[in-house]
Amino acid sequence: MRRYYVFTTIFIFIVIFISVNVHANVTYIKEGNNPPKIAKKNKKQTHRKNKNKYSLTSPPLSTTFHKVKKGDTLLSLSKKYSLSLSELKKINNLRSTKIRIGQKVLLKRSRAKTYTVKRGDNIWKIAKRFNIDVDELKDINDLKTDQLKPGLRILLEQKAELEKTKTHEASLLQADVGEDIEKISESEKYSLEKKVTLIAKKLLNIPYRFGGNNIHGIDCSAFVKKVYGLIEIDLPRSARAQFSEGTYVDKEDLSVGDLVFFRTYASFPSHVGIYLGNNLFIHASSRDKKVTIDSLETPYYLKRFIGGKKIIEEKDDKEKLDEKG
């Protein structure tokens, strides 16, 4: 009798289990329904379930960084957030794919316009974090030192009107300067060296602007390129590339019109000016925010000076060879 009750109980449980599962998968046909409609409805429900499941496991679009956990690799993060491995490395300034637990991996470039300095920060770390040139960051915030106080709020991009010359004044200045420079460049009484210095001085006090190349704002390499261009010597756009031109000159052998180079924010030549003689040079200065004249003996430039390049002599020699040929 006991066996009968046990068997009956098991049988009832089996029947209930089967009926529940069958009921869950049964689609009840209502009036007006037909097989195509039923199939379409089931497909939508399945898609909606899959979509919800995906959204739970996918990172929100607003995510800007991922905190590395045990088992994470840069490759797995690139797949998880649909970013290429090279893009992840570039965003985070990584040379290898090694990451450590607890590290914050950026998933997209920050669009912040300001940053509040935290303890342990310095100008170099902040510039690297936001992929900004150190001199540009100092220029934007009028900083004279690399040390920053915690709590200081700094700008990460140039204000639209910052250091901008008024349009009317700039137009008048451009007209006057252009006329004088044209007379100098066409004159036959000046040597090329003299023309370079005279033209460069005509551009004194033009506002400095990183990446600028006109009278409204100009940077160091654009200033040098423009001055030499006015005596028909074409130079590359960057200080680094300009350093590969001409003949190397030691400080003691510098002549008027030579280029002088400095290492400022990088290991390569990153700043350039034109030598005027008596240890003076003219350049577009991010520190003074304008084209100005400084001394090579100034501690800042003395420490960073790496040498000069003679450009004009190279051109004269080539012209002489062409005449002989």
128-155 average pLDDT score: 77
Q: Is the pLDDT of residue 317 over 50?
A: no
Query: Within a 10 A sphere around the Cβ of 209, how many other Cβ atoms?
Result: 24
- Of the two residues 102 and 12, the one the predictor is more confident about is 102
Torsion over CA of 294, 296, 297 and 299, rounded to 10 degrees?
80
pLDDT at 125: 84
Catalytic residue among 23, 168, 216, 220: 220
pLDDT tens readout for residues 245-295: 999 999 999 999 999 999 987 788 999 999 999 999 999 998 888 999 999
Domains defined along the chain, listed by start: 63-109 (3.10.350.10), 110-158 (3.10.350.10), 167-324 (3.90.1720.10)
The verdict on whether 66 is a catalytic residue reads no
Q: Are 222 and 233 in contact (CB under 8 A)?
A: no
Catalytic residue among 23, 47, 66, 271: 271
Catalytic residue among 23, 47, 66, 283: 283
Query: Within a 10 A sphere around the Cβ of 167, how many other Cβ atoms?
Result: 9
Pairing of strands 247-249, 305-310: antiparallel
- CB contact set of 257 (below 8 Å; sequence gap of 6+): 192, 193, 194, 196, 197, 274, 275, 311, 312
pLDDT tens readout for residues 3-14: 666 666 776 766
Give the residue among 224, 234, 290 at the shortest CA–CA distance from 258.
Answer: 224
Q: Is the pLDDT of residue 158 over 70?
A: no
Q: Is the pLDDT of residue 142 over 50?
A: yes
pLDDT tens readout for residues 212-226: 888 889 999 999 999
The verdict on whether 47 is a catalytic residue reads no
